[in-house]
Each structure stands twice: as structure tokens, then as C-alpha cells.
Amino acid sequence: MTGPIHDKLPTQVQINDQFTASKIHQSLAFYNKIKKANGDYQFGDLTVQWYGPNAAWMAQLGTYYDATAQQQIECYIIEFLTAQPKPIPFTINWGPETAPLKSITKTSNSIEIVGYKAPP
């Protein structure tokens, strides 16, 4: 059962594609469309804006990332998108899922996720 659901999830390449230099402004427009009054958005919804509604994607996010991890990743994405004077293109890199310590860090042009399940 995990296989078919996993096959419907956006890939690492697709997720990173939405934050490339050629697409970062469209991602910012999507963010501005879906953000709440406090600036937050539902984790995973930016990818849904690019690739369409995907119940499997949204359901799996909760099993891949706990609420704290979701909030941290979302915060970093918002920081890149809303950087001034213009959004900063970035990539998300996933380290080993089996790392003894989980971490989510931000560099000048990436988000590094270690110890969490990576998309296909």
C-alpha cells in the first residue's frame, strides 16, 4: 500500500523546481495567494499550487514531518520567498533519514533536512 501512495507524491526534483530562479516569483505569487493573515500557510500547500490537489501528498506530510519540523521548514521557505529586495532561489536537500539526530537548517541558498523521510 505504501508504494502506490509514495508514487503519487511530488519528487525531490519537482519540489526543488518550484524554488528555482525561473519559478521563484511564481512561487511567491502562490504564497501571497494562500497565506493567512499571520503570514503562515498550510504546510505542503505551495507544492499543491504547482502540481494540483493531491490528498496523498497532504496526508503523508504529517507522517514525514512532525508539527515542529513543518513549522521550521515553512518558516525558512517564507524567509527565502519574502527576502528583500527580491525572493532568493533555493534548494532543499535531504540528508540520511537514519541520522541519529534530526535537524533542519538554513544556509544562504538551501534548506538542509536530516533525519526525516525524503520525498521520492
pLDDT at 4: 41
Collapse the DSSP code of 8 into the 3-class scheme (helix H, G, I; strand E, B; otherwise coil) and give the result: coil
| 43 found inside a domain | yes
Q: 59-93 burial, b if ≥16 CB within 10 A, otherwise e?
A: ebbeebbeeebbebbbebbbebbeeeeebebbebe
119 lies in a domain?
Answer: no
Residue 113: inside a domain? no
Q: Indicate whether this model's pTM tops 0.95.
A: no
Query: Does residue 101 lie within any of the structural domains?
Result: no
Looking at the domain assignment, is residue 96 inside a domain? no
Four-point Cα dihedral 34, 37, 41, 42, nearest 10? -100
Tens digit of pLDDT per residue, the chain (120 long)?
344 444 567 899 999 999 999 999 999 999 999 999 999 999 999 999 999 888 887 888 888 899 999 999 999 999 999 999 999 999 999 999 999 999 999 999 999 999 999 988
**pLDDT at residue 7, rounded to an integer:** 55
Please name the residues in contact with 51: beta carbons below 8 A apart, sequence gap of 6 or more.
Answer: 10, 14, 57
Q: Which domain holds residue 52?
A: 2-89
Number of domains, the chain: 1
